[in-house]
Chains A and B, each alone.
Chain A
Amino acid sequence: MDDSVLVQVQNLKMYFQTEGSFSFSKKYIKAVDDVSFNLFKGETFGLVGESGCGKSTLGRTVLGLYKPNAGKVIFEGENIFSLKNKRMKEMRKKMQLIFQDPSASLNPRKTIADILNEPFHIHQVGTMTERKGKIKDLMDRVGLSEYHLSRYPHEMSGGQKQRVGIARALALNPKLIICDEPVSALDVSIQAQVINLLEDLQKEYDLTYLFISHNLSVVHHICNRVGVMYLGKLVETGNHEDIYRNTLHPYAKALISAIPHTDPDNPKDRILLRGDVPSPANPPSGCRFHTRCPERTDLCSHAEPQLKEVFPGHFAACHLC
């Protein structure tokens, strides 16, 4: 395997059963349907798409929080789904998650010190004094003071709580951090602080981020490579310059043109999509985007396009590319 690859995701499928207990009546929501991509060491890979497109499910499946219906996640050469429990627990130290809602992801009955002690306690790392020192370091690193250690989550602001979430994710020196909408619950002036912090930490600890967001401007800022998802499928991946400047897939084009711009002198042309995102329980035939696509052809409604390399390192799943 190539040394620069940290995680290989291969043909991952994650279906959720919705109704029916007999095999003939079972129905599935195909949240992630045959997704493959690589995460390179030290990069930030952005995953964008509208709500319900499966980006969070994909992130959680990569962490092994769900057992997928098919496919592999190869982390440093080992498929995490074939690991025994004890080995998997070891592996979990190397991959962590930062959640969207900092208020909901911190236990309201524990102090910040207890919350940050938990990773060490679960994995039986260090003595009490070592842990205390490490927790102080972490607090310092994410820009919080020691005074906050005895506080409860409700006594802190949203930005501070998200910093605690980040400190907790960093506790066991992970290699991969899945950031699931880490700034979307924060105010604009706090967003920039947290984004800068994430960038600093990445440099300092040589972290790899899988950055899930619906905010394309934030993804543009922080990511090296971007993957665009639509109804459980990756429709386009590539370097961030390729995705934003040389967009191939009609959905990605519409998504990027829909970002409100902040330059009043240059109003831009907008590709307006008609209709809503179809239900993932009953995705359209052929290309899943054909019902809303402004450029569709007859072929699109019955043949499903495969992700293919259109330019070096720039993949798209569209018949027109």
Chain B
Amino acid sequence: MSDDLLDKDLLRISNLNVQFRTSEGVFKAVRDVSISIRSGETLGIVGESGSGKSVTALSIMNLIPNPPGEIKGDIFFNGQNLREMSPEEVRKVRGNEISMIFQEPMTSLNPIHTCGKQIMEPLLLHKGFTKHEAKARSLELLKMVGIPLPEQRFKEYPHQLSGGMRQRIMIAMALACRPKLLLADEPTTALDVTIQAQILELMKNLRNEIDSAIIMITHDLGIITEMCHSVAVMYAGQVVESGPLKELIREPLHPYTEGLLRSIPTITKEKQRLYTIDGTVPSPFNMPPGCSFQPRCKYSNPICSEQTPDLIHVSEERAVRCWRHAENIGIGNRSVLHG
């Protein structure tokens, strides 16, 4: 990749591999993932449980414990390789320039500290604010995320708040230092639909306000459609397809994406039998040979079970990991991203 491109991207992950050594064997959670995102953009990572989407996010934050985790690959943030930084340097970036909203607001807030103290923490740590300044800024943040009576909430503990409120506190914490990159790992999964709508609206407004890049990790294609500019679909630890949202939804290239889109019931679809993808996600300890989706794929060819397809670019912005498209393009003029 040229230096030119590196500069334009806020975050570029290339050939990320994460594996865990367990008593049952080596478990490859993330295999050869390369994604990039620019400022102001929202990238959606969609996949089922165990597809490696959360592990990808945790590796960006350098939160994978080692051992048992082993990370290979490069993560460039603002031109710097996060993988080559010392723990102290990474700590300066984490919570400051990159921050994360976790899935469970119930378990990711500290129950023995007040909400106010937790929002103030990154400000005191990274920005060198005095306590007084930090408090003023925290109250501002609480107001911004739409919490009524911020002065009172500031003094309360997480258990005194509802799920939606706690998620807002998490968002306020994540936004405290005006991060350049926000990782949102299933930010609304634990919430009710009406509260989910509020949180998504809030995140959209904040994105416009701070102009940060957001990586939205979810299994809900509806949320992706609503929030994101581009999408990466993950299956069994690999990115199987990526591209701009509208094109990907309208014309999915990978059989898994196609199946996923067709199998979701929606309120606009006619009532008819749901399309199903047969079988289940393969066990990480027992991956099928060749393409990992091949045992469930309706287009499967002999080559699919023999060789692993590469992620190939079918156009400037779209890439797919499937032999069908490798053949369509012809081996001669395909541009291999990595392999």
List residues of A whose CB falls within 8 A of some B CB: 50-51, 157, 159-160, 187-193, 195-196, 199, 214, 216-218, 220-222, 244, 254-265, 267, 270, 272-277
Contacts and interface: CB of A to CB of B under 8 A. Distances in A.
B273 A262 contact: no
B261 A189 contact: no
Contacts of B201: 270, 272
A183 to B, nearest CB: 10
Contacts, number: 120
Smallest CB-CB A-B distances: 8 pairs: A260-B222, A221-B265, A192-B263, A50-B192, A258-B197, A187-B48, A192-B274, A189-B277
Given A189-B259, A276-B162, A262 B192 contact: no
Nearest to B274: A192
Nearest to B192: A50
Interface string B214-225: 000001111101
B294 to A, nearest CB: 15
A314 B218 CA distance: 36
B62 interface: no
- Of B197, B219, B225, which is in contact with the most chain A CB atoms at under 10 Å from its CB? B197
A262 B221 contact: yes
B164 A192 contact: no
A196 B271 CA distance: 12
Contacts of A265: 246
A171 B261 CA distance: 34
B246 A192 contact: no
Contact of B267 (A191, A216, A254, A277): A216
Interface in B199-247: 200-201, 219-223, 225-226, 245-246
A217 B264 contact: yes
B222 A255 contact: no
B281 interface: yes
B49 interface: yes
Contacts of B49: 187
Given A217-B264, A217-B266, A270-B201, A260 B194 contact: no
Given A188-B260, A189-B48, A196 B273 contact: yes
B198 interface: yes
Contacts of A50: 192-195
A187 B200 CA distance: 22
Given A264-B249, A273-B194, A193 B276 contact: yes
Nearest to A241: B271
Contacts of B275: 192
B280 interface: yes
B268 interface: yes
19 contacts: A188-B48, A189-B260, A189-B263, A189-B276, A192-B275, A192-B277, A193-B276, A199-B273, A214-B192, A217-B265, A217-B267, A220-B266, A255-B194, A259-B267, A260-B196, A262-B261, A264-B249, A273-B197, A276-B195
Interface of B: 48-49, 148, 162, 164-165, 192-198, 200-201, 219-223, 225-226, 245-246, 249-250, 259-261, 263-269, 271, 273-278, 280-281
Given A192-B274, A193-B276, A264-B225, A258 B196 contact: yes
Given A187-B219, A189-B263, 7 more contacts: A187-B49, A188-B221, A188-B264, A192-B275, A216-B267, A263-B268, A273-B198
Contacts of A216: 193, 267
- Of A160, A262, A275, A277, which is in contact with the most chain B CB atoms at under 10 Å from its CB? A262
Contact of A214 (B48, B193, B223, B281): B193
Contacts of B273: 196, 199
A244 B223 CA distance: 20
Nearest to B190: A51
Given A187-B49, A265-B246, A270-B201, A157 B193 contact: no
- Of A160, A260, A274, which is in contact with the most chain B CB atoms at under 10 Å from its CB? A260
Contacts of A195: 265, 274
Contacts of B223: 260
A260 B246 contact: no
Nearest to A267: B226
B143 to A, nearest CB: 15
B192 A277 contact: yes
Given A196-B276, A270-B201, A277-B192, A262 B225 contact: yes
